[in-house]
């Protein structure tokens, strides 16, 4: 899954985001409906698709969707 597909899939996890709104450089915390519940949803999505676990620190240290993607990729290969 490349970064664009990843972004599209993450976008699909949000209830009230119009398709095509998010880009890899979107700060996901600034998505209007972002809440701690979405942190769990993103963790579930990453676990299901990559068998990788995002920690609370991983999320704390990331701002954009691309940041998350990079963490997932580095964990996937390590």
The residues that touch another protein, with contacts defined as CB under 8 A, are: 15-16, 33, 35-41, 43-44, 47-48, 53-56, 59
Nearer to another protein, 3 or 41 (CB): 41
Asked whether 63 and 29 are in contact (CB, 8 A), the reply is yes
| Beta-ladder partners of 64 | 27
Nearer to another protein, 25 or 76 (CB): 76
**Residue 51 Cβ vs another protein, minimum distance, rounded to whole Å:** 9
Residue 6, classified by CB atoms within 10 Å of its CB into exposed (0-12), middle (13-18) or buried (19+), is buried
């Amino acid at each position: 899954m490349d970064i664009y597909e990843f972004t599209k899939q993450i976008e699909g996890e949000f209830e009230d985001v119009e398709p095509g709104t998010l880009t890899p450089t979107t700060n996901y915390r600034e998505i209007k409906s972002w809440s701690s519940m979405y942190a769990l949803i993103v963790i579930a999505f990453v676990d299901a698709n990559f068998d990788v676990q995002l920690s609370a620190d991983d999320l704390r240290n990331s701002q954009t969707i691309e940041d998350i993607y990079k963490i997932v990729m580095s964990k996937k290969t390590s």
